[in-house]
Structure 1
Amino acid sequence: MSRPRLTIGTFGEISVQRTPGGKLEARARYRDWDGKTRLVQATGDSLKSADRALRSKLADRTLFQSSTSILAPDNPFGDSVTYWLEHLDLEDRLSRTTRLLYERNMRTLVTPAFGNLTLREIGVARCDHFLKPLAKQSYNRAKQARVVLRLALGLAVRHEVLLRNPMDHVSRLHRPPHVPDALTPTEVNAIRLPIAYWEAGRSPSGPRPDGQLGAIVEVMLGTSARIGEVLAIRRRDIDITGAPPSIRIAGTIVSHRGEPTARQDHPKTAK
């Protein structure tokens, strides 16, 4: 009669034998997540130490192992970052600006703190300890770091490299109280005056005026649009016959490294 099959994540009877070098070697069969049963071994100077070493080794074998040969729980965190960025490129759902922003935040904010760790060593307490001091320095940087770290570890969970995402259990980030600054009429006029002076050709320094700066500032004041959105306005986005006249904000200006500045359709236009 054949031996009963082990349940995934369990091991069979432990046997001990002496090696040619004089140490004791403990062995046991372990059934991994892929369904294959493998022999796991550990040595020690005594029967108890060999048994403890083997049981510790068996306990470290996670039930969830990578469904691919690319990534595993013992891989450095940097490998998972590369894997995550490649996955973003394959999905091709993000705008180029957002993709580059994610990579920059991961490289500059997260990797310096986690670069010397393996995926298995990243837990809730470590993530929490990383975000809290960062949030004291800058809420926005902590928020950006939290987003990319959560996404990268989430991919590892979906691909069965990690059992859970530690970012699901870190404490919430609390935005510090902030009162928006609004320009007073005096401050607005203080901006308009030097622009008018420069556009009139009276200023000896700076580039030659082309008559656009004053119009750009007035549109920003009248619409609260960002500078990139204002520069992306096309003739067909303007309706001066309506009551009141209106401007449709439907794009922005982007500048990627090594590429010419170009207009990009606003990613939220369709929504």
Structure 2
Amino acid sequence: MTVGSFAADWRQRWEESDEHPPATVSTYTAAVKWIREELGMLRLVECTTGKLEKGVRRIADEHGDTTAKQARTVLRHIFADAVRLDALATNPALGVSPIKPKAGEVRAMSQLEVVALRNAARQWEATPHKSFRPYRRDILDSIDVMLGTGVRTGELLGLRWLDIDLEADVPTVSVMGTVTQAKGQGVIWKPAPKSETSKRTLYLPSIAADALRRKAAEREFLPESEAVFASEVGTWRNPSAYRVHFRQVRELASLDWVTPKTIRKTVATTIYNSDSLDNASQQLGHSEVGVTAKHYVQKLNIGPQGVVGVLDEWFQSAS
């Protein structure tokens, strides 16, 4: 059997074996495609670690390090399955060298860019849409909640009214779940966020608390929905549909590089610059502070202001 044929069979068995997050299914499906393209004609018994290594490197050259890293992971699963089914005695993919994608430069939004995004959201809400389908006109409120909390898109759309306390001295929101697309079920709410550290209670600054108060005032239109940012009919909102609207807003603001994840980076960078990296990491719900430092904080190459006094005093004493 060839790698291409076995990989296609493996993907079908894997998908039917359990319920997998839609993002993982999409990632693994794409990885199988590139594996079949680069290694598909090899027979399983012909595969050596060296041949697989060269195939993964070709994927890296053609499609980038991140795609190659995913392909390497899937190759390990595919050949482990081949061993399990007695098609091979050993797994040659285990020796393929790790792919270490280069971390890109973190870019957070400036205050002027935040203002531009919020103004564009107001403009989007006020613009008539040429569609017979209803539109939720709360994109500004959702952006304000992200700006005030740094929550992920799935966490934002998974906020429930029972998770919010606007009557406390300092209002809070508890991030207790996320929304995801489930096979055969549509969009559902999952009680476990991305990781256990994602379950967290966050204090709300005015920008987020005011947005949620506006949402609470509108709740009479969807009184039975437990979702704060519900769909037009009161169900859990599809993250993909939400991102379509977000992209329309960022285009109005001429901020094509901005995504909801950029807002998370902006929140982390703001907290880091004014407080600490640990608190920025806790706010975002990361299990490791290194993830925050590497991927979410924009570093400013500015020397410490306190050295001015130190150097002045030193030069004065030397003169």
Call closer, same or farther: CA 1:267–1:115 in 2, change over 3 Å.
Answer: farther
- Paired residues, what number? 192
- 2:22 corresponding residue in structure 1: 97
Q: How large is the Cα RMSD of the aligned pairs?
A: 2.9
Call closer, same or farther: CA 1:245–1:143 in 2, change over 3 Å.
Answer: same
**Cα deviation 1:192-223 (Å, max 9, x = unaligned):** 11212333x3x356668643101111122222
- Return the letter of the residue paired with 1:177: A
1:250 aligned residue (177, 192, 196): 177
**What is the alpha-carbon distance in structure 2 between the residues aligned to residue 88 and residue 216 of structure 1?**
36
TM-score computed with the length of structure 2 as normaliser: 0.52
Q: CA contact under 8 A between 2:155 and 2:178: conserved in structure 1?
A: yes
- 2:43 corresponding residue in structure 1: 118
2:118 aligned residue (192, 204, 211): 192
**Partner SS, residue 100 of structure 2:** coil
Greater Rg, structure 1 or structure 2? 1
Q: CA contact under 8 A between 1:231 and 1:253: conserved in structure 2?
A: no
TM-score computed with the length of structure 1 as normaliser: 0.60
- 1:170 corresponding residue in structure 2: 96
- Return the letter of the residue paired with 2:2: P
**Cα deviation 1:119-168 (Å, max 9, x = unaligned):** 11121111111122322441211111111111011111233321221121
Call closer, same or farther: CA 1:268–1:228 in 2, change over 3 Å.
Answer: closer
Q: CA contact under 8 A between 1:105 and 1:148: conserved in structure 2?
A: no
Output aligned runs, 1:1-271, within 5 Å: 75-89=1-15, 91-92=17-18, 94-98=19-23, 100-136=25-61, 137-199=63-125, 201=126, 203=127, 210-240=136-166, 241=168, 243=170, 245-254=172-181, 261-265=186-190, 266=192, 268=194
**Partner SS, residue 263 of structure 1:** strand
- Return the letter of the residue paired with 2:91: N
Q: CA contact under 8 A between 2:11 and 2:32: conserved in structure 1?
A: no
**What is the alpha-carbon distance in structure 1 between the residues aligned to residue 77 and residue 115 of structure 2?**
46
**Partner SS, residue 252 of structure 1:** strand
Q: Which has the larger helix fraction?
A: 2
Q: CA contact under 8 A between 1:102 and 1:148: conserved in structure 2?
A: no
* Gapped regions of structure 2 (runs ≥ 5): 198-319
Greater Cα shift, 231-240 or 212-221: 231-240
**What is the alpha-carbon distance in structure 2 between the residues aligned to residue 155 and residue 243 of structure 1?**
53
Q: CA contact under 8 A between 1:228 and 1:254: conserved in structure 2?
A: no
**What is the alpha-carbon distance in structure 2 between the residues aligned to residue 86 and residue 108 of structure 1?**
13
- Return the letter of the residue paired with 2:20: S
**Partner SS, residue 88 of structure 1:** helix
